Chain A
Amino acid sequence: MNVLVIEGSRRPRSDSGAIARDLRARLEATGQTVELRRVPKWGAGREATDAALARLAAADSVVLVAPSYLDELPAVT
């Protein structure tokens, strides 16, 4: 199974990043194919959006790992 793990934090060395990397390791240990992407590094604009949508479409499962900002995903996620 292809799993796309999206880290939705802008903070360097974020807790979300640590959780996402740990999750990737655990999933890969079970034979899953995992791609870890950090949202801010996806960029903005039509080309970046299309690329992100293509990755989402290619994944069997998507995991969002993000801090809670006022009970919601941050805007960047």
Chain B
Amino acid sequence: MTGKALLLTALALNGDEGERIEAAPLEGLARRGYDVEAVDCRDVDIVPCTGCGSCGLRTPGACAVKDGMQAVFRSLVASDLLVLATPVRFGSYCAELKKVVDRFQPLMVPLYVVRRGEMHFRGRYDFPALLGVGMSADPAETEAFRHLVGRLAVNVDARHAVATFTGGAEAADEEAATEAVEGALAALEPAPGRSAGGPS
């Protein structure tokens, strides 16, 4: 599966760390032939979701807050793959990236469906496949991150895969990180489609 990939990052203040978290997915996606649009969420004016509910009922599908998220929405729904690349913080995304994920509600219809025995919102659009890329040297944090990306996939009804790496600065570490991303992308490819696969 190749096509258009939207890469969302929230690079940490530490420049080296930021470069390493972005380099692996960029290289991995390039090797698999993806056309990549990369967005650093720290460079986009996006405010946190207030949970006003407007996108569900008053202005269905449209967020009441007009900011940088509108461009992200347009790119996201036109993508085949959404990549969330982040240093892992307390087992989760960087807050700046989570702020963007929190704004996904307009992509959902305020009607519940049952998925995997759970009640979830129905998707307004076909959500792209989801790849979580996390950098952490802590195994517990890494496991929590894998779980959270999986839960996000269930919520948005997307196939998903997760790549994690330790973020070492040696050339071998960088190659291992890229290979982890490539491996996760390959895991997404055999699925024939959303109707057949569902959340993985």
Binding site for B on A (CB under 8 A): 9-11, 14, 40, 67, 69-76
Q: Are A10 and B50 in contact (CB under 8 A)?
A: yes
Q: Please name all residues of chain B whose beta carbon is closer than 8 Å to the beta carbon of A75 when the two chains form the complex.
A: 48, 95-96, 98-99, 101-102
Min C-beta distance of B92 to chain A, whole Å: 6
Q: Which of B39-58 contact A (CB under 8 A)?
A: 48-52
Residue of B nearest to A71 (CB): B151
The count of A-to-B residue pairs whose CB atoms sit within 8 angstroms is 45
Q: Are B49 and A70 in contact (CB under 8 A)?
A: no
Question: Measured between alpha carbons, how far is A67 from B50 in the docked complex, in Å?
Answer: 10
Question: Is B152 an interface residue, CB under 8 A from the partner?
Answer: yes
Q: Please name all residues of chain A whose beta carbon is closer than 8 Å to the beta carbon of B52 when the two chains form the complex.
A: 11
Encoded as 1 (CB less than 8 Å from any A CB) or 0, chain B from 96 to 131 comes to 101101101000000000000000000000000000
Question: Measured between alpha carbons, how far is A73 from B101 in the docked complex, in Å?
Answer: 11
Min C-beta distance of B169 to chain A, whole Å: 27
Question: Is B12 an interface residue, CB under 8 A from the partner?
Answer: no
Interface size on B, residues (CB 8 A): 18
Question: Measured between alpha carbons, how far is A66 from B80 in the docked complex, in Å?
Answer: 32
Most buried by A among B50, B151, B152: B50
Instruction: From the candidates B48, B51, B95, B101, name the one contacting A70 in the complex (CB within 8 A).
Output: B101
Q: Are B99 and A70 in contact (CB under 8 A)?
A: no
Min C-beta distance of B36 to chain A, whole Å: 24
Q: Are A70 and B50 in contact (CB under 8 A)?
A: no
Min C-beta distance of B193 to chain A, whole Å: 23
Query: What are 23 pairs between A and B in contact, CB < 8 Å?
Result: A10-B48, A40-B48, A69-B49, A69-B102, A70-B101, A70-B104, A70-B151, A70-B152, A70-B155, A70-B156, A71-B148, A72-B98, A72-B148, A72-B151, A73-B92, A74-B98, A74-B102, A75-B48, A75-B95, A75-B98, A75-B101, A76-B48, A76-B95
